[in-house]
Structure 1
């Protein structure tokens, strides 16, 4: 059975969209790096290339392969979900922010091939590739990400980005849905 068919069947039957329900479904799918190869393309100047594997109105699954550029600090809007490291090692920095203040780094951690970690609703983080092996990550969010905020810490600003923009400052004005001036 193809990856697309397995994923579609799993999510069409899903009744538990809680973090534990999503984690259980992701682990049960047992997706391999070989099954993701056809989705991987060159990031072309961005921190990562992302490809949607599945999306409906309750859940989305995305695969990302990373360049040697870290993404910008960002949240996932009203979504939460799981990130699985499929190949390589990621460096993740987690931030804390109060209201409209500039996010401050709390800690940095490294997650290796096979790791699975949670991305909480309203949590702010940034990720990047650590070391030489290519970094490939699999992301599962519920609900699908809308209203993601991307932060520019040097400019003390943030913006809400459109769903076709990744975790970087948008180059196209149409991808900036709302600008936010942060407080120091």
Structure 2
């Protein structure tokens, strides 16, 4: 994609950016759903469709449009970043993960159009649209996401996924870099 020159200048200037520098950059980008509409496609049975808009050694910028499915609980590997709601309302569920145990949901928060929220390194969350019509989010991460861990709460398992996989259990075996059996929170036993 060719982003506008002003946006490219803002993003080119981000070298190992801090949390605050990334938030300021998103505000400067001031991107709208209308300008990003040409890059949005059907989610095709997945929680979202994502389009990489910009990537350097230090950051990546993605736009996502959401279906009526929730994504799986996941982290962003060693990346941290900001998520901006461009349209609609996002339901963000935040989890606690201890050792190799199943993630435990702590709380849900609703983010309206125009709001930003932070995704910390190793923080586990899942997102979904509050209304299946029109949730569009802009994501700025540093460094670009690699080795994202996706959780399947029913299988009591986690999977480190390839960089081309989203926040869902991979259908394609090549997207599974490493599968991890987890133990349940309550008694520490493994699911069968």
Aligned residues: 183
After superposition, give the CA deviation of every residue in 1:100-158 in whole Å (9 maximum; x if it has no partner): 11000000111111110000000000000112541000000000000100000011000
Find the counterpart in structure 2 of residue 13 from structure 1: 13
SS at match of 2:171: coil
After superposition, give the CA deviation of every residue in 1:31-70 in whole Å (9 maximum; x if it has no partner): 1111111111000000000000000110000000000000
TM-score in terms of structure 1 length: 0.96
Once the two structures are superposed, the pairs formed by residues 1-184 of structure 1 within 5 Å of their partners are 3-15=3-15, 17-184=17-184
Unmatched 5+ residue regions in structure 1?
none
After superposition, give the CA deviation of every residue in 1:51-93 in whole Å (9 maximum; x if it has no partner): 0000011000000000000000000000000000000011111
Q: Distance in 1 between matches of 2:101 and 2:93?
A: 17
Unmatched 5+ residue regions in structure 2?
185-192
Q: Are the equivalent residues in 2 in contact too, given 1:4–1:54 (CA < 8 A)?
A: no
Q: Are the equivalent residues in 1 in contact too, given 2:16–2:143 (CA < 8 A)?
A: no
SS at match of 2:81: strand
Q: Distance in 1 between matches of 2:172 and 2:66?
A: 21
* Cα distance change, pair 81–146 in 1 and its aligned pair in 2 (3 A): same
Find the counterpart in structure 1 of residue 188 from structure 2: none
Q: Distance in 2 between matches of 1:93 and 1:62?
A: 20
SS at match of 2:26: helix
Q: Distance in 2 between matches of 1:15 and 1:164?
A: 23
TM-score in terms of structure 2 length: 0.92
* C-alpha RMSD over aligned residues: 1.2
Q: Distance in 2 between matches of 1:63 and 1:143?
A: 16
